[in-house]
Amino acid sequence: MLKITIPTRKNYKEIIHLVNEAERIFFDIYTKDEAAEVGVGNLTVEDLISGAKTRQYLVLKDSKKIIAFASFRLKNEQTVWISSLYVSIDLQGKGYGSKLLREIENFASKNDVKVVVLETEKKARWAVGFYLKNGYK
């Protein structure tokens, strides 16, 4: 059974593993120096703790583990900004990322937010395709 929840700090190591593993694909489009500059593959517990001060986190869990993670924030009264959205590498393409995206959109709707925005690397064709498939421009 799948469940979307707000993670606790005890979940942070599992989230870090998921995100850092999923970010490995960026090594196909970034040089080693570029990847280091943007922080690809080196998320830490401290990063999540610090980020939780300004962002909200959601995880999608099955009965055994966290299979997807999203981070977002209310940028202003009209805008939700998605900071990140990751799905476990072996489970991508099954609609799990879309489930988290819909949950963020529901949050926006409940808070009378007019727009949900995000930014992704143009060369990350898999990410661009995911967002286009989900109605983003």
Compute the average pLDDT of residues 42-62: 95
pLDDT in tens, 17-45: 999 999 888 888 888 888 778 777 889 99
pTM (two decimals): 0.91
**Strand 66-76 to strand 56-61: parallel, antiparallel, or no bridges (unpaired)?**
antiparallel
Handedness of CA 63, 109, 119, 137 (dihedral sign): positive
